[in-house]
Amino acid sequence: MGKLFRLFFKRSNWALPYVIFLVIFVVLPLLLVILYAFQDAEGNFTLQNFVHFVNQPEVTHTFVYSVIIAVITTAICLLLGYPAAYIMSRMQSKSAVIVIMLFILPMWINMLIRTMATVTLFDFMQMPLGQGALIFGMVYNYLPFMIYPIYNTLQKMDHSLIEAAQDLGATPRQVFSRVIFPLSMPGVVSGIMMVLLPTISTFALAEMLTLNKIRLFGTIIQENINNTMWNYGAALSLIMLVIIGLTSIFTYRDKHDDINDAGLI
Amino acid sequence: MIGKIFSRGYLLLLLAMLYAPIVVIAVFSFTEAKVLGNWTGFSTGIYESLFSGKNVLIMRSIENTLIIAVAAAAIATLLGTIAAIGIYNMRHRQRRIISFVNNIPMLNPDIITGVSLFILFVFMGVTQGYTTVTLAHVTFCTPYVVLSVMPRLMQMNPNIYEAALDLGATPFQALRRVIMPEIRSGMISGFILSFTLSIDDFAVTYFTKGSIGLETISTQIYADSRKGGLSPEWRALSTIIFLAVLLLLLIINYRSMKHTHAKHSAVRSK
Amino acid sequence: MVKSNYIIELTNISKSFGDKVVLDDVSLSVKKGEFITILGPSGCGKTTLLRLLAGFNTASEGEIRIGGEVMTDIPPHKRPVNTVFQRYALFPNYNVFDNIAFGLKLRGVERKQIESRVKRALKMVGMTDYEHRDVNSLSGGQQQRVAIARAIVNQPQVLLLDEPLAALDLKMRKDMQMELKEMHRSLGITFVYVTHDQEEALTLSDTIVVMSEGKIQQIGTPTDIYNEPCNSFVADFIGESNILNAIMVRDRLVRLMGKEFECVDEGFGQETPVDVVIRPEDIYIISQTSSAMFTGTVRSCTFKGVHYEMFVDTPDGYEIMIQDYNPFEVGQQVGMIVKPSDIHVMRKERICNTFEGVMVDPTHVEMLGGKFECAPVQEVQAGEKVCVEIDFGSVELTDDAEDGTVEGSIRFILYKGDRYHLTVRTEEGDNIYVDTHDVWEDLDEVGIKIAPQNIRIKPLK
């Protein structure tokens, strides 16, 4: 009893259950993905899964295509989102809160329902489903993720910096290009990450928005897992994980705070 | 002035784009046509059919979604709050390592979380169903609870826990009477966030639901859309969910405004 | 067994966090009803000592007794002590009454009694009628009064106060000091008070414990500590002082600034290096130079309200601080006189740096977490442990931390009239002492270099 009490009394030990949980449900699964990726169905070590990936032009093409689509989506989100965030950051705080709420509101609705709504809209306007609908649907789904972090950094920006720049003779254009934009980079980077990561890996959206005509990399992973090709599926997941890991490492430091903020919407 | 009109117009345009699909769905939830886009006259038939519970698949998926969301959010809130208190009291290096691992589920795309957990359950030979889906949801919800509670702890005077012990409270009493009131708002927002993340999830659920026929709203819509047609009841359900969320946000906003207002006047009266 | 009349007894207490030793073999006894102050700069371990008494941390080694009972491992809620925290630590979710009643309620004291005791405690701290106020609406001083009331209402045997006045402004601090003293008198319980403010310590305490680097430097009454500091650290920390290197020629005769002075200290031996402390108000300054004990030129003269503070340069290059009611002109030749009893001689803690090192090869020694080149050593094998000595003046500090053989940061600066005596903490946590004429600032990051010929290697005894 005394021992248990002491263990409990030391509050840094309170994280212990969660640490165990993280090891079992976060670290171990990722290690298993790596393990499975280098095994064949019998559990022998092999590189065959990766050779298979490189030798299947259909799969490699899909991979490249997915990345391109994700980059296009992210770019459009940035082009549309930055001005919106900038405009909002200049508004009175009360009305800005309302507008930001309006942007976030659709995010609280199930993503598939939103996608279904997009499909409906395209049907309603008699536009064909396909690549255009896919990009529109993804932009529609992820635009708020771009706007919020940018708005956040712009809004937190010390206003006296802008005044200092004006005081030193900068024109409004120079104030923007020399002060505001560089200082908002952390928000831009985290916005890009928050759009790029999910768009690169999505599969359900693509199927619904293109009537299963266009397949993304996520779709291929999902098909392999569904068809008990676990090892190949794991290898494809690992490839995606490496891509994502590399992108996050470059941005991890800046991103940290904004992800936290975004989590608190 | 022109700039102002232009920028307002731009925001309105973007919002119109965001809301157009929802509006279309809401409008067409008041007509009975099976195929979307056909207007066959105003009717509340879809709503009646939804509430009559005739569409068993939809009703069951709603039920599953809510059960899993409540369970996952409750577990995540408990686990995450205790963990946050622990992490808060850790030394710097340990804290950094845990924060890093804590970030992984948030940075990982859903599909990776889903696939990796699927492989874990296969590896451990667990039959997938309610339990695995709930555990999976706890996995991606808890980091957000930790991040919601953490700032509250940081804002707290670090001595008040010790002050309570000093005045004769046991660690448990100190937690309940002093720490809990301070971090309650963080716990609540962590719970709400977890709840909505769980309801919203598709990919992780998809990979961990197993083959016992467990469907949530997301996976049921996906299954329906794969079969070709979505039942009209989804339109009614979406409209209701949208209005419910709108109402919830309005209430939260109103309350937080009232709260800050009360705080301001308290400061002023001083 | 005779019950000891000490309320607190600490025996050989050590505490480390990781590899960082915060308290190093501290022993201390406190009499019942005493007002004892633990005084020291930040990071000296004083707060840790208080936290060990309260039970928030447990000692790594040693024994703690409170009221004669062993409390070393007893959790805080079972100890007969209460704490007043620096940042008040009032529970923001409770009002004034509930904050003060917190401890009584937990103990299951009757409702009526709680009310009367809370009222009495509030009266004691001069906050009658504040029961129902929100604690967040109170000023800093009021919050601290509530925090004190919350502690004393439980009638602890010992009241622990952790820099309770540090967050208040000067005027409020002075008022509260008087009130605390009055409170101590009327309550009759033991106060253990932690502060870094020497003036506060001198004003309030029956006994002062001066701490530095996790060790007790001196224990004594305020007058003892001020008049007879036992080492240069205490002399520097308490009040203003001139601290100078000197040689004890023989009993009652000390040589400093190149001259011999009479003093009253004995038992240091002959021709022993010592530190000498002369308080600035103990030096008489006169315009004649013929009858003076030593002479100098006034370099600056500043009015300080009651007295003038002057810095005088002596011909041998020393800088002496003097306080006097009469001003002297800058540039004026002056003479100085010191009474023998005002020259305080203190034993030097060390006369050179001594480290344990390991020979890497005949011309390299590893110590302080770095590899230093040294003059060739014959009789010692590689890999053997050795004793390394380095004079204070032989250590070279570089601006750029990367330029040194090892890196360190400046932890303590002592001005010795003609040079600075620095304590530099290396990254490994060792202290190296340096004499220099260069001006450095506290916490500066520096590189540490030592010329090979200045490293003396001796076999380990």
Do residues B263 and B223 both lie within one domain? no
pLDDT band at C151 (very low <50, low <70, confident <90, very high): very high
pLDDT band at residue B254, thresholds of 50, 70 and 90? confident
Considering only residues C172 and B33, tell me which one the structure prediction assigns the higher pLDDT. C172
pLDDT of residue A254 exceeding 70, the answer is no
User: What is the mean predicted confidence (pLDDT) over C408-419?
Assistant: 87
Give the residue with greater pLDDT, B231 vs C54. C54
Cβ neighbours around B63 below 10 Å, total: 12
Q: Are residues B66 and B136 in the same domain?
A: yes
Q: Percent of chain B, pLDDT > 70? A: 92
* A243 backbone φψ class: left, alpha, beta (φ>0; ψ -120 to 50): alpha
Reported CATH class of domain C353-459 = mainly beta
Contact across the interface for B167 and C75, Cβ inside 8 Å: no
What number of C-beta contacts closer than 8 Å exist between A and B? 242
Share of chain A above pLDDT 70, in %: 91
Q: Which of B24, B104, B147 sits opposite A263 (nearest CB)?
A: B147
> Is B1 within a domain?
no
Binary contact (C77, B166; C-beta < 8 A): yes
Residue B44 and residue B97 in one domain: no
- Residue in chain B lying closest to A143 (CA): B18
Question: Is 70 exceeded by the pLDDT of residue A256?
Answer: no
pLDDT digits (tens, 9 = 90+) for C43-92: 889 999 999 999 988 899 999 999 989 999 888 888 999 999 988 889 98
Same domain, B86 and B213: yes
Cβ–Cβ < 8 Å for C309, C302: yes
**Non-local CB neighbours of A48 within 8 Å, separated by 6+ positions:** A40
For residue A233, is pLDDT > 60? yes
Beta strand C207-212 with C215-220: parallel, antiparallel or unpaired?
antiparallel
Q: How far apart are CA C55 and CA C81, in angstroms?
A: 9
Decide if B217 is inside a domain. Answer: yes
Whether the per-residue pLDDT at A244 is higher than 70: the answer is: yes
- What pLDDT sits at residue A160? 82
Could you say which residues from 20 to 79 on chain B have a Cβ atom under 8 Å away from some Cβ of chain C?
none
Q: Which of C54, C136, C137 sits opposite B166 (nearest CB)?
A: C54
Interface test with C, best of B91, B153, B160, B167 (most C CBs within 10 A): B167
Fold entry, domain C240-347 = OB fold (Dihydrolipoamide Acetyltransferase, E2P) (2.40.50)
Which residue, among C8, C394, C365, has the nearest Cα to C190 in the 3D structure?
C8
Question: Per-residue confidence at B96, pLDDT binned at 50, 70, 90?
Answer: confident
**C18 interfacial to chain B (CB closer than 8 Å):** yes
Say yes or no: A113 contacts chain B, CB-CB below 8 A.
Answer: yes
| B78: contact with A, CB 8 A cutoff | no
Task: Give me C240's structure tokens.
Answer: 């203003």
In a domain, B3, yes or no: no
Of B163, B168, B169, nearest to C85 by CB-CB distance is: B163
For chain A, the structural domain boundaries read 61-251
Whether B7 is covered by a domain: the verdict is no
Residue B268 predicted with pLDDT over 60:
no
Pairs from C358-367 (Cβ < 8 Å, separation ≥ 24): C358/C383, C358/C384, C358/C385, C358/C386, C359/C383, C359/C384, C359/C386, C359/C457, C363/C452, C365/C455, C365/C457
Higher pLDDT, B266 or A127: A127
List alpha helices for B29-179, DSSP H.
Answer: 45-52, 56-88, 92-107, 110-124, 130-155, 160-166, 171-174
Residue B118 touches chain A, beta carbons under 8 Å: yes
Burial class (CB in 10 A: 0-12, 13-18, 19+), C415: middle
φ, ψ for residue C87 (rounded to 5)? -95, 35
Spatial contact of B117 and A29, defined as CB atoms under 8 Å apart = yes
**Strand, coil or helix: A239:** helix
CB pair distance less than 8 Å for C55 and B181: no
Taking the Cβ of residue C90 and every Cβ of chain B, the question of whether any pair is shorter than 8 Å is answered with: yes
Does C89 contact B at CB distance below 8 Å?
yes
pLDDT value for A8? 66
Q: Residue B23: inside a domain, yes or no?
A: yes
What pLDDT score was predicted for residue B157?
A: 87
Q: Which are the contacts of C25, defined by CB distance < 8 A and separation ≥ 6?
A: C12, C13, C14, C62, C215
What pLDDT does residue A260 have? 42
Interface contact A11, partner B, CB < 8 A:
yes
- Beta strand pairing status for C81-84 and C158-162? parallel
The answer, yes or no, to whether residue A3 has pLDDT greater than 90, is: no
Largest alpha-carbon pair distance within chain C? 84
Q: Which has more confidence, B121 or A120?
A: B121
Give the predicted TM-score (pTM) of the model. Answer: 0.76
> Does the pLDDT value for residue B162 go beyond 80?
yes
**Is residue B137 left, alpha or beta, with left meaning phi > 0 and alpha meaning psi from -120 to 50?**
alpha
pLDDT at B120: 95
What DSSP string describes C263-277? -S---S-SSEEEEEE
- pLDDT recorded at residue A6: 64
CA atoms of A38 and C139, how far apart (whole Å) = 66
Instruction: Please tell me the distance from the alpha carbon of residue A58 to that of residue C166, in angstroms, as a whole number.
Output: 71
Taking 80 as the threshold, does the pLDDT of residue A120 lie above it? no
Predicted confidence (pLDDT) at residue B267 exceeds the cutoff of 80: no
Looking at residue C2, what is its pLDDT?
47
Question: Average pLDDT of C389-400?
Answer: 90
- What is the end-to-end Cα distance of chain A in Å, rounded? 42
Nearest CB to A22; choose among B101, B107, B148: B101
Q: Who has greater pLDDT, A265 or A60? A: A60
Percentage of residues of chain C with pLDDT beyond 70: 99
Contact C407, C456 (CB under 8 A): no
Rounded to an integer, what distance in angstroms lies between the CA atom of residue A192 and that of residue B233? Answer: 36
- Contact check, Cβ <8 Å, A27/B19: no
| Partner residues linked to C36 by β-bridges | C192, C207
**Mean pLDDT in residue range B78-90:** 92
Reading the block at residue A141, the tokens are 């789904």
Asked if the C-beta of A207 comes within 8 angstroms of chain B's C-beta atoms, the answer is yes
Cα–Cα dist A246/C392, whole Å: 51
Contact residues on chain B for A124, CB-CB shorter than 8 A: 24, 28, 36-37
The alpha-carbon gap from B102 to the nearest alpha carbon of chain C, in Å, equals 24
- Chains with 3+ CB–CB pairs under 8 A to A are B
Facing B17 at nearest CB: one of A120, A140, A265: A140
Confidence grade of residue A262 (pLDDT, cut at 50, 70, 90): very low
Residues B177, B129 share a domain:
yes
Mean pLDDT of B43-65: 87
Confidence of residue A263 (pLDDT cuts 50, 70, 90): very low
In angstroms, what separates the C-alpha of C89 from chain B's closest C-alpha? 5
Q: Do A19 and B37 make contact, defined as CB atoms within 8 angstroms?
A: no
CA distances in angstroms from A157 to A64, A114, A262, B128, C67, listed in the order given:
37, 33, 17, 48, 57
Look at B109 and A32 and tell me if their CB atoms are within 8 Å.
no
**Tens digits of per-residue pLDDT, A62-83?**
999 999 999 999 999 999 999 9
Q: Report, as an integer, the average pLDDT of A141-147.
A: 90
Give the mean pLDDT of B181-202. Answer: 91
Residue B73 and residue B193 in one domain: yes
Task: Please give, rounded to a whole number of angstroms, the shortest distance from the CA of B168 to a CA of chain A.
Answer: 14
CB A203 within 8 A of CB A218: yes
User: Using CB atoms, which residue from B14, B106, B116 is nearest to A32?
Assistant: B116
User: Which of C167-171, C411-415, C448-452 has maximum average pLDDT?
Assistant: C448-452
Q: Which chain B positions have a beta carbon within 8 Å of A28's beta carbon?
A: 120
Q: Which tokens go with C347?
A: 């034993």
| Residue B54: predicted pLDDT | 79
Beta strand extents in C49-97 (DSSP E only)? 61-66, 69-70, 81-84
Co-location of B136 and B173 in the same domain: yes
Substitution target from B116, B117, B264 for chain A, most A beta carbons within 10 A: B116
Return the amino acid letter for C357: G
A5: pLDDT strictly greater than 70 = no
Query: Token digits for C152?
Result: 């004393």
Instruction: Output the average pLDDT for chain B.
Output: 86
Q: What is the assigned CATH class of domain A61-251? A: mainly alpha
pLDDT at A258: 41
Query: Are C106 and B169 inside 8 Å of each other by CB?
Result: yes
Residue window 139-168, chain A: list those with CB within 8 Å of chain B. 140, 143-144
- Asked whether the beta carbons of residue A204 and residue B202 sit closer than 8 angstroms, the reply is yes
User: Range of B165's domain?
Assistant: 59-230
Q: What is the pLDDT of residues C357-390, one digit of tens each?
A: 888 888 888 888 888 888 888 777 888 888 899 9
- Residue A26's pLDDT is 94
DSSP string, C231-274: SHHHHHHSS--EEEEEEEEETTEEEETTEEEE-S---S-SSEEE
Separation of alpha carbons C131 and C128, rounded Å: 7
Interface residue B234 vs chain A (CB under 8 A): yes
Q: Are residues B87 and B220 in the same domain?
A: yes
Distance from CA of B218 to the nearest CA of A (A): 6
Question: B222 vs chain C: nearest CA distance in angstroms?
Answer: 47
Contact call for A143 and B103, based on CB within 8 A: no
Asked if B95 has any chain C CB less than 8 Å from its own CB, the reply is no
Domain C240-347 matches domain C353-459 at the CATH topology level: yes
pLDDT band at B63 (very low <50, low <70, confident <90, very high): very high
Q: What are the backbone angles phi and psi of residue C32, rounded to the nearest 5°?
A: -60, 135
Q: Do B86 and A103 touch (CB under 8 A)?
A: no
**Based on the domain organization, do B78 and B170 belong to the same domain?**
yes
Count of CB atoms situated within 10 Å of the CB of A255: 23
* C54 chain-B contacts, CB cut-off 8 A: 162, 166
Q: Express as a percent the part of chain C with pLDDT over 90.
A: 52
Given a cut of 70, whether residue A30 has pLDDT beyond it is yes
CB-CB neighbors (< 8 A) of B167 in chain C: 77, 82, 102-103, 106, 150-151, 154
Q: Does B200 contact chain A (CB < 8 Å)?
A: yes
Copy the structure tokens of residue B158: 């670090």
User: For position C215, what pLDDT does the model report?
Assistant: 92
Q: What is the band of C339 on the pLDDT scale with cuts at 50, 70, 90?
A: very high
User: What kind of fold does domain C6-232 have according to CATH?
Assistant: Rossmann fold (3.40.50)
Domain extents in chain C: 6-232, 240-347, 353-459
Please tell me if residue A96 touches chain B, with a CB cutoff of 8 Å: no
